[in-house]
Amino acid sequence: MSLLEDAVEKVVIGADHVHTAATVRRRQRTFVPPSELHSHLATKADTALLDQLFYATVDECPDPNCRPLVLDRVAADATATRKLVNWACHIASEMYGGLPAELVDGDEAATTVFRPSPFFCRLAAEYHNPGSAFDAVYATFDTAQRRQVADNAVALVDGFQVWWTDFLYQ
């Protein structure tokens, strides 16, 4: 990473450290970060922000302010949050051959260790309905709701890395 790229990533999150594929120590990376899935849609800021959240979560960053700070930045960017949800739903859909009821139904979700927010379940339920239905639901979310959804999305993928398809059914 060049000095300029390093500086851009630090500015993006406002922290004194960055998380990248090279800094992930604790676990082998199973999934590509959101920027690699959406490379044709992402700007440099989006790429750095989404990747920072993914790698900070995977690396279980010990800085108690790191992940919340990055989550706040992601939630403030509606486009980045949406990309993160699409990324998580894409991975879950590929793993299960569709999204399981535990991700789209709040009552079913309450029976899992994951327990996604009702906001995440609403978006997941509309994931396979491209266009207006997903957009209409997503447009109603405020920053706090987008923060919950972003947190759920990255936690879901992180859980899959550890437990694979068993994650929802432990």
Query: Cα dist. 115→34, 52, 112 in Å?
Result: 22, 23, 6
Average pLDDT over residues 57-70: 85
Of 9-23, 33-47, 119-133, where does the model show the most confidence? 119-133
So where are the chain's domains? 3-169
Q: How confident is the model at residue 28 (pLDDT cuts 50, 70, 90)?
A: low
Confidence check: pLDDT of 142 > 90: yes
Q: How confident is the model at residue 23 (pLDDT cuts 50, 70, 90)?
A: low
% of the chain beyond a pLDDT of 70: 72
| 74 vs 28, higher pLDDT | 74
Instruction: Tell me what pLDDT residue 168 has.
Output: 87
- The per-residue pLDDT for range 96-133, each reduced to its tens digit, is 999 999 999 989 888 888 999 999 999 999 887 766 67
The secondary structure element, H or E, covering residue 39 is none
What global pTM score does this model have? 0.78
Nearest to 31 by CA among 124, 170, 167: 167
Round the average pLDDT of the chain to a whole number and report it: 79
| Whole-angstrom Cα Rg for the chain | 15
The secondary structure element, H or E, covering residue 100 is none
